[in-house]
Amino acid sequence: MSLTKTSQTSIMQTYNRLPITAVKGEGSFLYSEDGTKYLDFTSGIATCNLGHQPEAIKKDVTDQLDLLWHCSNLYHIPKQKELADLLTAESCFDQVFFCNSGTEANEAAIKLVRKWSGKETIATFTKSFHGRTLGSLSATAQPSLQDGFGSMLPGFEYFPYNDFDRLSEIEELKPAAVMLELVQGEGGVRPADQEWISELVSICKSNNILIVVDEVQTGMGRTGTLFAHEQYGFDPDIMTLAKGLGSGFPIGAMLAKESVASTFGPGTHGSTFGGNPLASAAATATVKEVVSLLNNAKEMGDMLINEIKSLSEQHNSINEVRGLGLLLGIEVADAAPFVSKLREKDVLVLSAGPNVIRILPPLNVSKKEVEQFLEKLTDVFKSAEGKDKA
Ligand SMILES: Cc1ncc(COP(=O)(O)O)c(C=O)c1O
């Protein structure tokens, strides 16, 4: 039997690709096939947090490449142990499970919550994003992303984010866990309100409800501290990481307090590649490097948000500027034209939903690069509006 090939591309069309063919990266810059040098304020969507091709990571990965690429989790893996020791030393958690992506880390968290509690109910929040596999997608309270995929995993109850009035319903429901991002990244760069978080945490602590923070996007220094929950002043029970953890080398992790983590025993969960020697080498070097860049991330984040807020005073097209550290969003009526105009000026940014321009520079971005970005951003707003606010 022969099938006639009709498609024009061998890649499934799950992404609307932009007209850039990326061939090389260096620090804050991405080079395309046609030789254009772009100032990359996307960091591979909060993944290349140390910029492109960071030397320290390259060296450790190359050293590991010469020793051992992969071996099964049936054996002890020294780099994986070093990474777990480092992550637990730098956080409030006691144990780590390694996997390969954010969605997998969240799957692991959902399974751990279910096994620990013997219950299925997990409260999540509107406009959240937790991943594309069926469990994580069920946690993602965005019906448009779930459409067409049949029944979602049972047990998820959605609540409005930052809404004080509905917190009492979470207390009445007494779910096994709440799961949330502290800044909703894909959902429009929406930081959680500090008082709302304090009330939510207090409800969870007094009702034995686990708190799962999805720090896949907010973690690894992105918000100016190693993990965003540190700024909100509470200890979660479970945290998920991926994206920036490996500086672009695929790795995910679920961290938990011992009392919860001990529910998982041999055979309860696993991953062939999770925490393999190469991924662990990349992530160990990354954690060490990120810790030394937190001050720069905070300083450059403050500079960016303050300057963009001043810009918003002169331009009616900016509705709101928000974010934490180097995870920043500018809300406008329609983000796409601004993203395109910046690209025409060799600057890469993202959108988050239809009306937010998302800005994610690397944590080691220089003041000069931030100034260069601000200059281009100002030009784009000026030419889009044609006039300044009176
Ligand atoms: C908060 C959050 N959780 C989970 C994910 C899914 O991560 P991955 O694409 O590595 O599966 C993402 C990806 O954007 C995310 O932003």
pLDDT digits (tens, 9 = 90+) for 261-296: 999 999 999 999 999 999 999 999 999 999 999 999
pLDDT of residue 40: 98
Per-residue buried b or exposed e for 35-47, using 16+ beta carbons within 10 Å of the residue's own CB? eeebbbbbbbebb
Query: Mean pLDDT over residues 128-154, rounded?
Result: 98
Give domain status of residue 269, yes or no: yes
**What is the atom index within ligand 1 of the atom nearest the CA of 242?**
10
Q: Using CB atoms within 10 Å of the CB of residue 151, give its burial: 0 to 12 exposed, 13 to 18 middle, 19+ buried.
A: exposed
C-beta of 187 in contact with ligand 1 (< 6 A): no
Lowest mean pLDDT among 41-45, 172-176, 260-264, 380-384: 380-384
CB 250 within 8 A of CB 244: no
Q: What is the mean pLDDT of the chain?
A: 96
Question: Of all atoms in ligand 1, which is nearest to the CA of residue 243?
Answer: 10
Of the candidates 132, 142, 219, which has an alpha carbon nearest to the alpha carbon of residue 182? 219
CA of 243 from ligand 1 middle (Å) equals: 7
User: CB-hemisphere CA count at 13 Å for 84?
Assistant: 20
What's the residue count for the chain? 390
What does the pLDDT look like over 60-111, one tens digit per residue? 999 999 999 999 999 999 999 999 999 999 999 999 999 999 999 999 999 9
C-alpha 185 to ligand 1 mean position (Å): 9
Q: Which of 98, 101, 217 to mutate to test the pocket of ligand 1 (most atoms within 8 A of CB)?
A: 217
Given the structure tokens 């020793």, which residue do they identify? 67
Whether residues 60 and 189 share a domain: the answer is yes
Model confidence at 389: pLDDT above 90: no
Q: 119 and 130 in one domain?
A: yes
% of residues, the chain, pLDDT over 90: 96
Task: Answer with the one of 291, 325, 340 that is the final residue of a domain.
Answer: 291
The structural domain count of the chain equals 2
Per the structure, the complete domain to which residue 146 belongs is given by 55-291
Residue 8 banded pLDDT, cuts 50, 70, 90: confident
Q: Is 208 exposed, middle or buried (0-12, 13-18, 19+ CB in 10 A)?
A: exposed
The verdict on the CB of residue 219 being under 6 Å from ligand 1 is: no
Query: Residue 49 — very low, low, confident or very high, per pLDDT cuts 50/70/90?
Result: very high
Averaged pLDDT for residues 11-30: 96
Q: Is 250 in the pocket of ligand 1 (CB under 6 A)?
A: no
Query: What residue's CA is closest to ligand 1, atom 3?
Result: 130
Last residue of a domain, one of 269, 291, 313: 291
Backbone angles phi, psi at 148, to 5 degrees: 95, -5
pLDDT at 140 over 60: yes
Phi, psi of 209 (to 5 degrees): -100, 125
- Residues 84, 141 within the same domain: yes
Q: Measured from the CB, is residue 125 less than 6 Å from ligand 1?
A: no
